[in-house]
Structure 1
Amino acid sequence: MRIRRKPWARPELEACPFYVAQPGEKRGRWRQQFARPDAPLHLELGCGKGGFISQLAPQHPENNYLAIDIKSEMLGLCKRKAEAAYAAAGRPVDNLYIFAQNIELLPQVLAPEDRVERIYINFCNPWPKAKHQKRRLTHPRQLQNYRALLAPGGEIWFKTDDDPLFADTMVYFDEGGWRVLYATTDLHAQQLPDNIVTEHEQMFVEMGKTIKFCKAALDG
């Protein structure tokens, strides 16, 4: 997805108390950055404009959250949405940090000591061409990275509108020793009460696409 350059984004991020400019310096010590270091730590990969994390984090003060995107322009929008959502909830941004990172290089900024309990992957690039599929966020080589970061019993929650990506991801989980706890090829038909619908998701639904969703955990 292309996004116009936003000159304000980087200065706003640099002044933002919940933006981390050098995430590698926190590697292995992310829990200690929060007021409640023993709270469950959840991670969103590819947070984009923040439509998901800005709804989720303010609603769940019992958890701590990290949200990552590669583009500062996206993170700038995410920062503004998060600020507005926390303000509406009448509380400070005290359980969320955002930072820029290439997700393929995730081990450079998170370590096994960080003990992530849950990873969210929402509407990632499906990379349909065979020569590009190693870039998928659910590709086996990425699942290996996540395996090293997840706490015992940790889960991946994955959502997409793309049928081939979802089918391939089910295979990736099976072949990689992951246990699928729940899966549906029509999430909205299930009417799950805890599903967070973002603008992106609503757009796909209005286009007539069904939303695929699954939860997977490491087997054993």
Structure 2
Amino acid sequence: MRLRNKPWAQDEINKESSIVIAHPEQKKGKWNKVFGNDNPIHIEVGTGKGQFLTKMGQANPDINYIGIEKYTTVIHSAMENVRDANVENVKLLNKDVLNLGDYFEEGEVSLVYINFTDPWPKARHEKRRLTYERFLSLYQTVLKPNGEIHFKTDNQGLFEYSLHSFSKYGLILNNVSLDLHKSDMVGNIMTEYEEKFSSKGMRIYRCEAVYR
């Protein structure tokens, strides 16, 4: 993914400290105080430009959403989406998912979304895939018992790999779809990439994986 440089992005992000949380490690175990309620917390790893979480926040005001994105120029776009939509139940972290355990207490999260992540198709890059076993272990440390992963991609190879990775790790697979937009799923919220790929007639793959 080629990113357009926005040298002013960090300054703009700093002005929106109620949306982009600067020191999330200080909120570990205290996210209910950040949101001002005890609603469930759902996180999206690699949140991109934020369309998915913004619309999820609007559709589900009784759920708290946190998007994690390491690229500053990208999180800036997500911040603008959240700000312009005026959704108070969505927060953002300009951080690396590898440090997830620094930001959330064990069992503080109910659900993890992984949407249209980089497939890293070369075998030597397997460990970078967000459905690789070390990431599955990382998610498990912050998820409640029986927590879930909801995964969507346009990449068939990554989907097949992820199904195998989930199963090998011991997760239970539910609602596996090989063509999401021709399925009977109701209320699907699309990401920017999903709109782009589906408009070209490409299949969207989706599944839910539950820890046990």
Whichever residue aligns with residue 98 of structure 1, its letter is L
How far off its partner does 1:191 sit?
4.4
How far off its partner does 1:10 sit?
1.1
TM-score by length of 1: 0.91
Match of 1:65 in 2: 65
TM-score by length of 2: 0.94
Of residues 189, 195, 204, the one that matches 1:211 is: 204
2:54–2:90 contact (8 Å) kept in structure 1: no
Q: More displaced, 164-173 or 204-213?
A: 204-213
1:194 maps onto 2:183 in alignment: no
Q: Percent of counterpart pairs with the same letter? A: 36
2:150, 2:187 → 1: CA distance?
A: 12
SS of 1:112's equivalent in the other structure is: coil
How far off its partner does 1:53 sit?
0.8
Unaligned runs of 5+ in 2: none
Match of 2:104 in 1: 110
Match of 2:25 in 1: 24
1:44, 1:159 → 2: CA distance?
A: 12
How far off its partner does 1:108 sit?
2.2
SS of 2:36's equivalent in the other structure is: coil
1:135 maps onto 2:136 in alignment: no
2:19–2:83 contact (8 Å) kept in structure 1: no
1:131, 1:171 → 2: CA distance?
A: 17
Match of 2:89 in 1: 95
Match of 2:150 in 1: 157
Q: Aligned-residue CA RMSD in angstroms?
A: 1.3
2:91, 2:40 → 1: CA distance?
A: 14
Unaligned runs of 5+ in 1: 87-92
Whichever residue aligns with residue 19 of structure 2, its letter is F
- Aligned positions, number: 211
